[in-house]
Structure 1
Amino acid sequence: MKEYIRVDLCGSGQVDKYLNDGWEIIETAKQSYPDGETKVDYHIGLPAKVLVDKLLSVIKDYEAQGLKERLFEGVAIGFDENASDYETGMGHATPSKTARYMENYERIVNNQIVQVRKKLTQQELKERAEFGF
Structure 2
Amino acid sequence: LPYDALEELRIIQEEAEVGFALIGNDKVYTRIQGGVNQAHEYARLWSRIGNHCGLKASTKGDIKAIASAWGLDINDKDLMTVLFDIGGKAGGLRALTQYLRLAGMTAKGQGTVITLDLILQAKQQMTGGAQ
Greater radius of gyration (CA): 1
Choose between structure 1 and 2 for higher RCO, CA contacts under 8 A separated by at least 6 residues: 1
Asked if TM exceeds 0.5, the reply is no
Bigger share in strand: 1
Q: In which range does the TM-score fall when normalised by the shorter chain?
A: under 0.3
With structure 2 as the length reference, what TM-score do the two structures score? 0.27
Bigger share in helix: 2
